[in-house]
Structure 1
Amino acid sequence: MIMLKSSDGEEFEIEEAVAMESQTIKHMIEDDCTDNGIPLPNVTATILSKVIEYRKKHVEAGNSSVADNKDLKAWDAGFVQVDQHTLFDLILAANYLNVKSLLDLTCQTVADMMKGKSPEEIRKMFNIVNDFTPEEEAEVRRENQWAFD
C-alpha cells in the first residue's frame, strides 16, 4: 500500500497498482521516496479522492473483459458531470499527477462544452472578460478568418 498526502493534510492509503497509474507518483515510488508518504502539495483531499476513485475504476476495468468497455465509457461520462470548478481542479490534478487518461477525459469534456459556441458564449460560460477593443477583435477575426468559416 502507498500513502498519499493531500495539500490539506489528509492521508489516503491506496494500492500500488492504482498509485502507479500516475507517472508522477510512479517516479517517486521508483526513486524510493515513499517512506513517510508521498506529499501532493498541488492536490486537495476532495480532488485527490476523485482522482483515486477514477484510477481504481480504471484499474478494475483493466482487469475485466473487453465487453465492460462500454460500461466504463458510461461511468466516465458520469464521472465528469461535476461543477466547473471541480472539473478544472481535476484537469490541474491530472496534469500535475501525469494521469494521461484523466487529463484527456477532462480536457475533452471542456472542449465538448465549448463546441459550437460563439466566442461571446464561451466567455460567458467561463466568466472570461473580453479585454479586446472592437478594433482589436476585428483584426483577430480577419487574421484568423479560416477559424470562423
Structure 2
Amino acid sequence: MFQDITTLLLDTKAFKDTIDLFVERYRDQNISVVASVEARGFIFGPPIALAIGAKFVPMRKPKKLPGEVISEEYSLEYGTDKIEMHVGAVQTGERALVIDDFIATGGTLCAAIKLLERVGVTVVECACVIELPELKGRAKLGGKPLFVLVEGGGA
C-alpha cells in the first residue's frame, strides 16, 4: 500500500491540526530556517516557517533554482540524485528545521542535513508527517533527532 498525504490535505481540520502540532513543537526553539525538499515538503514548510517567524528555504532537484546554487548528491535504490539550494539562502550559525512529508530510506533528509551543515547551519531536528520504520531511514540521519506524527507500515 502506497503511503500518501493526499487524504490529509483534503481534510482542512486535520491539515490545520498537523501544521499546528509542528508549530507548537518548534515555536520556542529559536529556529531561523525551515528547509524542505521538493515537492511535498513544500506543503508543510512555508506555513510552519511563517508561524514560527523563520524563513523558508526550498531545496530542489537540479536545474530548478535560478542563480548560483550548491548541491548535495544522495543515493537512490537504483542510482543517485541531487538536491540544490541557493548560495546565500542561509548563513553560518543559523538554526534549521528540515521538514518533509515522509521518511522512507532517509536519503533526501540526509542530503538536506549535509547541505545545510556544509555552510555552517545547525540542524536542530528533522520532522516528517509519516515514517516508514521498516526502511530504516532514521539510521541515515547521523544521530539527528527526528520527530514524526505517524508511523506507517506495509510500504
TM-score normalized with structure 2 length: 0.29
Q: Which has the higher strand share?
A: 2
TM-score normalized with structure 1 length: 0.30
When Rg is computed on C-alpha atoms for both structures, the one with the higher figure is 1
Q: Which has the higher helix share?
A: 1
